[in-house]
Structure 1
Amino acid sequence: MSKPIAISRVHDMDAIELVSPDGARATLLLHGGHLVSWQPAGADEQLYMSPKSVFASGQAIRGGVPVIFPQFAARGPLQRHGFARTKPWSLVSAEQGKDDALAVLRLCDDAATRMFWPHAFELELSVRISGREIQIELACENKGEEAFEFTAALHSYLRVADLDSTSLQGLTAMRYWDSVDEMEKVQRVDLLLPGGDLDRIYHRVREDLTLKERLATTERRVQIRQQGFEDAVVWNPGAEKCAALADMPADGYKQMLCVEAAAIEVPLRLAASESWSGMQTLTLL
């Protein structure tokens, strides 16, 4: 029998603190529908959160998993990455089950969103944890009478001990847009070794990716799977750009790599009453 989970306070904000029966934990803020922590059963924190991040109404949070909607980056007329990550979401349900814990949050259009993006919509974010796995699902329904298009992403910041000891597997032969050089390229090698300013949108992702990190006595591996999202973004600001970010420590880039499930190259289009959903699943192997 499931047990309801009450709203608590984390970073002085309303939050849902999920705990599954096996000890897996996650923290989800109602502000932005923002996942700020994930600890698999018997393991350490897997997400990067900037120690300089601001937790305030209307402000974006640096780290965790921001929800990007209805615009990715500056690819359109709206504020960068859209408005979903800075809006208050409402709690639909939160409970601990026999084998897992699950929270569902909702965001609907209001007078403020319609000023910038004149569409009626309903977003639902579902976060489920069990054992060494977390599933993050974003769903969108067109609640209006006119069709609309949008881009979206789950902007996951994965924590690493040292970027120089980190690689990402599963990108061989994939086509991508290099946002730094502003040109299309093809990934020629199996392992991506981050270095410097890295900002790439990989297209038509079908295979699972694996984040690998060489530790002192072992290897950490996180499997990254996505459904419903056609693209994957790999991002690290590098030393120069990181130093210019007010909400990041100058060396913060060494402790994170963003691997994002995204729909960017071909915007998603929903007719009246149509819906879409996409999911990113992270598994500590």
Structure 2
Amino acid sequence: MSTPIAISRQHGMDAIVLESPDGARATILLHGGHIVSWVPAGGAEQFYLSPQSAFASGQAVRGGVPVIFPQFAGRGPLQKHGFARSKPWQLVLAEQTSEDALAVLRLTDDAATRMFWPHAFELELSVRLSGRDLQIELACENKSEQAFDFTAALHSYFRVNDLDEASVQGLSGLHYWDSVENVEKMQRVDLLLPGGDLDRIYTQVKEPLLLREQGISTERRLQIRQQGFDDAVVWNPGATKCVQLADMPADGYKQMLCIEAATVAHPIRLEAGDVWVGRQDLTLL
């Protein structure tokens, strides 16, 4: 037995508020298919959402989980991070069951997207919520008659109480591209977050990652697993670049860290009629 969930308004935009029977909640804007909040059962808000973010048609939201498609960053001829995060998505399904809550949203090509990226496609974003778990799945179907290439990411912004107390485990031994210094390096120990601009693309990520915050009297451990995405991007603008971001407070970098499930290093080639699927599963331990 399932109960439909109606569209509501959040941040002045159409949204779906998922709530599982155990009290976990997540909010998804139809604008961009953008998850802007996740509160696990018995937990606190896990995503960072900038208080200065613009909630406006055609503009990207700063924080939460932007959907990056069909181009990551400026690695191509399109606008930075592509167009999916600033387009209106269609609600396919939103319901609560006896065990969880689920929303499915869809984005298809239109005349505007074909002006910049001449391919027919269908994106489907599925968000499932239960207890201390949030499962995010992004699927892309090639509706064209020819193959196309794309890069994609779930650009998750995680809230941290203090960046100096945070670390990321599971990256040791991986090669990464340092986008700040434009050089390839290897991660030899767990990532203790350095001061300043941090922008790294870790490749061939096979094992779960762990975002850990170790305070004087508190500890938080968030497990991050991914499938279908080959890379993981770790990003924080640091003090200097954060000041230059119009949609973030000057000190906002202290309260956030992006750990993104991504496929960047090697674009996905999708043949006509084929489907690609990528997931990011989050668990508050």
Task: Give the SS at the match of 1:123.
Answer: strand
Aligned counterparts, 1:211-250, within 5 A = 211-250=211-250
Find the counterpart in structure 2 of residue 113 from structure 1.
Answer: 113
Greater shift in the superposed pair: 255-264 or 186-195 = 186-195
Number of aligned positions between the proteins: 285
User: Does residue 89 of structure 2 align to residue 89 of structure 1?
Assistant: yes
In the other structure, the counterpart of 1:13 is: 13
Counterpart position of 2:262: 262
Amino acid at match of 1:104: V
SS at match of 2:241: helix
**What secondary structure is seen at the aligned counterpart in 2 of 1:222?**
strand
Residue 194 (structure 1) shift:
3.4
In structure 2, distance between residues paired with 1:268 and 1:118: 16
The 2-side partners of 1:88 and 1:115 are apart by 17
Judge which range, 215-224 or 28-37, deviates more: 215-224
Which residue pairs with 2:54 in the alignment?
Answer: 54
Map of 1:1-285 to 2, 5 A cutoff? 1-285=1-285
The percentage of aligned residue pairs carrying the same residue is 75
User: C-alpha displacement at 1:190, in angstroms?
Assistant: 2.3
Return the alpha-carbon distance in structure 2 between the equivalents of residues 183 and 138 of structure 1: 30
Deviations 1:162-219 (A, max 9, x none): 0000000011110000000001000011233232100000000001000000134121
How far is the alpha carbon of 1:7 from its aligned partner? 0.3
- Structure 2 length normalisation: TM-score? 0.99
**C-alpha separation in 1, matches of 2:8 and 2:190:** 43
Unaligned runs of 5+ in 2: none
CA contact 2:19–2:101 (8 Å) conserved in 1? yes
- What is the one-letter code of the residue matched to 1:188? R
Over the residues paired in the alignment, what is the CA RMSD in angstroms? 0.6
Give the Cα separation in 2 of the matches to 1:239 and 1:117. 35
TM-score between both structures, scaled by the size of structure 1: 0.99
Residue 163 of structure 1 contacts residue 194 of structure 1 at CA under 8 Å; is this kept in 2?
no
Cα gap change, 1:55/1:233 in structure 2, threshold over 3 Å: closer, same or farther?
same
Distance 1:157 1:35 in 2: 10
- Residues of 2 paired with 1:177 and 1:191: CA distance? 14
Structure 1 contact 171–192 (Cα < 8 Å) conserved: no
Is the CA contact 2:167–2:190 (under 8 Å) kept in the aligned structure 1?
no
